[in-house]
Amino acid sequence: MREEAARLQKDALWRTLDDRTVAPGPAMVNLSSNDYLGFAQHPEVMLALTDAVERYGAGGAASRLLSGPLPAHEEAEDVLAGLVRCERALLFASGYAANAGIIPALASEGDVIFSDALNHASIIDGCRLSRAQVLRYQHRDLDHLEALLKSQRGRFQNAWIITEAVFSMDGDAPDLRALSALATHWGAWLYVDEAHALGVVGPEGRGLCAADGITPELLVGTLGKAFGLAGAFAAGSDAVISLLVNRARSFVYSTAVLPGLAGAVPRVTEMVRAADAARSRLRAHVATVHAGIATRSALSLPAAAIVPIPMGTPERAIAVSKALQDRGFETRAIRPPTVPKGTSRLRCVPTAAHSSNDLRKFVHHLTQVLA
Ligand X SMILES: *Cc1c(COP(=O)(O)O)cnc(C)c1O
User: In the chain, count of helices (H) and strands (E)?
Assistant: 15, 12
Q: Which is catalytic among the residues 116, 119, 172, 196?
A: 196
Closest to ligand X by CB, 122 or 254: 122
Q: What are phi and psi of 317, to 5 degrees?
A: -60, -40
- For ligand X, give the closer residue by CB, 195 or 286: 195
How far is residue 371's CA from residue 227's CA, in Å, rounded to a whole number? Answer: 37
CA dihedral 273, 306, 360, 224 (to 10 degrees): 50
- The answer to whether residues 225 and 89 touch, using CB atoms and an 8 Å cutoff, is no
Report in angstroms how near the CB of residue 222 gets to ligand X at its nearest.
Answer: 4
In this structure, are residues 291 and 360 in contact, taking their beta carbons and an 8 Å threshold? no
Candidate list 32, 122, 168, 250, residue with the active-site label: 168
Which residue, 195 or 366, is less far from ligand X as judged by CB? 195
In what helix (H) or strand (E) does residue 234 lie, and over which residues does it extend? strand 232-236
- Known catalytic residue: 33? no
Single out the residue of 32, 94, 115, 343 in contact with ligand X (rule: CB under 6 A). Answer: 94
Q: Tell me which H or E stretch contains 356.
A: helix 356-370
Among 60, 95, 266, 314, contact with ligand X (rule: CB under 6 A) = 95
Name the catalytic one among 42, 225, 285, 354: 225
224 counts as binding ligand X under rule CB under 6 A: yes
Piece in contact with ligand X (CB under 6 A), picked from 90-98, 108-116, 306-314, 351-359: 90-98
Minimum separation from the CB atom of position 4 to ligand X (A): 25
Q: Does 338 bind ligand X (CB under 6 A)?
A: no
Binder to ligand X among 42, 73, 88, 120 (CB under 6 A)?
A: 120
Query: What pairing do the DSSP bridges indicate for beta strands 344-348 and 307-312?
Result: antiparallel
All residues at 6 or more sequence positions from 193 whose CB lies less than 8 Å from its CB, including other chains? 95, 99, 119, 120, 123, 162, 163, 164, 165, 220
How many Å is the Cα radius of gyration of the chain? 21
Restricting to residues 163-222, which ones interact with ligand X according to CB under 6 A?
Answer: 164, 168, 193, 195-196, 222
- Binding segment for ligand X among 1-9, 59-67, 94-102, 203-211 (CB under 6 A)? 94-102
Q: For binding to ligand X (CB under 6 A), which residues are involved?
A: 94-96, 99, 120, 122, 164, 168, 193, 195-196, 222, 224, 232
Q: Which residues are catalytic?
A: 34, 120, 164, 168, 193, 196, 225
